[in-house]
Amino acid sequence: MSETPLLRVENLKFKYQNTGGKGSDREVLHGLSFTVERGEYVAMLGHNGSGKSTLAKLCMMILDPTEGHIFVDGVDIADPELTDAQVLAVRKKVGMVFQNPDNQMVATMAEEEVAFGPENLGIPSAEIRQRVDEALKAVGMSEYAKKEPSRLSGGQKQRIAIAGILAMHPDCIFFDESTSMLDPQGRKDVMEIIDRLNREDGVTIIHITHDMNEAARAKRVMVLHEGNFVMDGTPEEVFAQPEKLDACRLTVPQCTQVMYRLKALGFEIGDRVTTPEDCAEAIRSLLGSGEVRHG
């Protein structure tokens, strides 16, 4: 029995209709095809205007594709004859955390904010309460349940937003540059939650970002450039081609660069070095092995 992939995109094209009257419609996606299996942790990289946010909006049915198909758990969401109930069923499976935490908050209390999604799904009150408590615990915000989101830091707001999605029990969560407006600590907290959701709860993660260090934490990196996927592979495979990334106006993470330079100088370094911690570890072991002399 073969399992249906969670997300299957076939020859997806999208044009922004030019309403100004001048110029022609701008095509931002030129026929994308890819699949994301259940439990994957994918980072979608691309510089500004590469079409990555458009892709997420298409998957959330905020925009309709000009051409092509998107299958979420076997259901074609590009089908214009989808019933409202089917639309809700798809949106329940796929959640999305946005860039600006302020603009996605509906309620003035953290727990009511988290409850908003389940309330829309028509879940019984007692179960909502249980889901909200669980979701807040999962993002480490239980003690802030009664706080106003506007009094929380950016990172904390974003964690509440994640809890709001988690409470809907989605199979897959899109993060649309969810860390880009946060301070370093907020970023770190949110990234740890994203990693943990995938590792421990098996939630499929699609992290849209232009931060290479964050992308390096995923298990699969897809690089979007001018509306086409130009690279798709493990972070090691992708980051091993810095020239190709350069052409997409992306810069390889500093630690990876250091590792490649060291390798070029003839040092023995494993391929699985993508995070600064790994990098420090690798250098430490190099120093310890006596291959490098101090001074």
Partner 1 sequence: MKSISLGRYYAADSVIHRLDPRGKIVLTILFIVSTFLAKNVISFALLILFVAALSLLSRVPLSLILRSLRGVTVVIIFAALINLFLTNIDQATFLVEFGEWNGRMYGITVEGLIRSGCMVLRIICLIIGTTLLLTYTMTPIELTDGISNLLHPLMKIHIPVDLFAMMMSIALRFIPTLSEDAERIMNAQKSRGTNFSDGGLIRKARALIPILIPLFVSSFKRGEELAVAMECRCYHSGDDRTRMEVLKWHVRDTLFFLLLIALGAGIVLINIFFAWIPYFTVL
Q: Which residues bind partner 1 (CB under 8 A)?
A: 57, 60, 62, 84, 88, 91-92, 95-96, 98, 100, 102-109, 111-112, 115-125, 128-129, 132, 146-148, 150, 164-165, 168
> Between vectors from CA 182 to CA 94 and to CA 226, what angle results, nearest 5°?
60
Cβ proximity to partner 1: between 53 and 274 the closer is: 53
Cβ proximity to partner 1: between 41 and 144 the closer is: 144
Shortest Å distance, C-beta 82 to partner 1: 14
Shortest Å distance, C-beta 26 to partner 1: 19
From CA 260, how far away is CA 175, in angstroms rounded? Answer: 29
Cβ proximity to partner 1: between 92 and 244 the closer is: 92
Shortest Å distance, C-beta 91 to partner 1: 5
Shortest Å distance, C-beta 233 to partner 1: 29
Shortest Å distance, C-beta 11 to partner 1: 24
Cβ proximity to partner 1: between 53 and 256 the closer is: 53
CA atoms within 13 A on the CB side of 100: 4
Cβ proximity to partner 1: between 182 and 250 the closer is: 182
From CA 3, how far away is CA 8, in angstroms rounded? Answer: 12
Shortest Å distance, C-beta 112 to partner 1: 5
Shortest Å distance, C-beta 240 to partner 1: 35
Structure tokens at 97: 């955390």
CB 234 within 8 A of CB 221: yes
Cβ proximity to partner 1: between 110 and 230 the closer is: 110
CB 114 within 8 A of CB 167: yes
Cβ proximity to partner 1: between 55 and 96 the closer is: 96
Q: From the centroid of its chain, how far is CA 53?
A: 10
